[in-house]
Amino acid sequence: MAHLWSGRFEGGPDAALFSFGASFGFDRRLFEDDVTGSLAWAEAIHAAGVLSAAELEAITRALHEILAAGADPAFFDAAAAKQDEDVHSFVERELIARVGDAGRRLHTGRSRNEQVSLDLRLYLKRRVPLLQNAIEALIRVLAGQAVAAGDAVMPSYTHLRRAQPVLVAHFFLAHCAALRRDHARLAALLAEIDELPLGSGAIAGTSYPVDVAALAARLGFSRVVLNSIDATGERDFVSSFLHGAALTMVHISRMAEDFILFTSEEFRFFELADTAATGSSLMPQKKNPDPLELVRGKSGRVIGRLAGWLATMKSLPIGYSKDLQEDKEAVFEAEDTLRGSIDAAATVIGGLTLNPHVTATAASGLLLATDVADYLVARGVPFRDAHEIVGALVRRLVRENRSFDSMTLDEWRAHSPLFEADVRDAITPAASVARKRTPQSTQPEAVAASLRELQAWLTKS
């Protein structure tokens, strides 16, 4: 068959090289966006005097027919058999098959170099909000767990060593905070995408008087790109998307890791739902967190897509090069992996049950040492000295394999005469969390306020 560019050549291209270069196998995913762009372009070049009203009408009707035909996947398989190079060639061939010469005029003043940038922008404008919805759904699940946890406490960890008691709700809200940044990053990405590349031509601009501002408005863009050379050869919005996807994967991977640890026999803070775990073919006792492990594992794939894409871009001269075609598989794979991972994480986390006695026991003990030091500070001891006194006390308790709650008042006073009978009540996980004073802290009213703020955010978004 003839290709969009056959005129320049004596014969057809080498078949293997042609299929090496073809992108229709994956860029058919841009089909709907390609038709959207072509409908708008037809109107724009009609307004510029290139198409007659009758031609515009015929093209518009045929493009709608093509769009409707695309509802059946078999439509694309037939096209693949016809060896279309990419989705743009496919739509144009289908159009010409329906309207002949009018269809042959549609590409006037337009290049695939700008068309592909437009299509991918339109695609992401449609799809990124769906990812944002999925992130919101995951946040809703985490917020539900925060509510269900009530005033339960657990240890927090630094260096994966017990640090200080926190509310379990505070821990869930920590993961929500990261996801809200991911959500905001996608909103910033949508603003970055919001530029119309059409009018750039292949690189130098177009020779027809196309009203690009009107075309931008027609396609839902708030502005037009600054420079045609840049626009046809840049994909910064792809880099930003991959970065946003990779960072979100990093966050849900860390979340998965927390729950892999916290549902293990060693921690037993949470129990996995039977529906969210898998057994072992050999060891009958096993309840494995496979979906969480896959979420963690798949993060590597999306990080790899970002790194691979930046490597593809780094040596490209300004202007379009075919290397840019690599953008689509990177975007689609990152999108699918991210979406699948967010949804899996939401299902698994929604099914977790808390073991509040286990977390409370783990949250009491020597991790209250900072509270003991604060007790002395409240009685006038400089913090550095208090740290020293409590350090010696901890050293002794570790040696004797005991904890603060087993100490008599005399034993307390042997370390500092400032300890009074009230030290017993002051050194508990509940007193520790209640003592915190800042809005971002684990203090129960602060956590309740954060939860209310989060719920308000979920209601508006």
Q: Which helix (H) or strand (E) holds 400?
A: helix 383-400
Compare residues 26 and 208 and give the one whose CB is closer to ligand ARG: 26
The minimum distance between CB 34 and ligand ARG, in angstroms, equals: 10
Contacts of 272 (CB under 8 A, 6+ apart): 259, 263, 287, 289, 348, 351, 352
Contacts of 313 (CB under 8 A, 6+ apart): 235, 239, 323
Compare residues 269 and 320 and give the one whose CB is closer to ligand ARG: 320
Compare residues 288 and 325 and give the one whose CB is closer to ligand ARG: 325
Would you give the binding string for ligand ARG spanning residues 233-272, x where CB under 6 A is met? ----------------------------------------
Encoding tokens for residue 336? 């699918």
Q: What is the 3-state secondary structure (H, E, C) of 55-98?
A: HHHHHHHHHHHHHHHCCCCHHHHHHHHCCCCCHHHHHHHHHHHH
Would you give the binding string for ligand ARG spanning residues 300-329, x where CB under 6 A is met? --------------------x-x-xx----
Query: Pick the catalytic residue: 280, 357, 406, 461?
Result: 280
The minimum distance between CB 312 and ligand ARG, in angstroms, equals: 12
Residue for token pair 């006038």: 380
The minimum distance between CB 234 and ligand ARG, in angstroms, equals: 12
How many Å apart are CA 46 and CA 305, to the nearest integer? 40
156 is annotated as an active-site residue: no
Backbone angles phi, psi at 306, to 5 degrees: -65, -50
Residue 162 and residue 362 in contact, taking contact as beta carbons nearer than 8 Å: yes
159 is annotated as an active-site residue: yes
Q: Which of residues 116, 135, 334, 344 is near ligand ARG by CB under 6 A?
A: 116
Amino acid at 244: G
The size of the interface with ligand ARG (CB under 6 A), counted in residues, is 10
Encoding tokens for residue 348? 């698994």
Amino acid at 91: V
Q: Among all residues, whose Cβ is closest to ligand ARG?
A: 325
- Tell me which residues in 6-65 interact with ligand ARG (CB under 6 A): 23, 27
Q: Which of residues 112, 175, 243, 296 is near ligand ARG by CB under 6 A?
A: 112
Backbone angles phi, psi at 363, to 5 degrees: -90, 0
Residue numbers annotated as active site: 159, 280
Positions that interact with ligand ARG (CB under 6 A): 23, 27, 86, 112-113, 116, 320, 322, 324-325
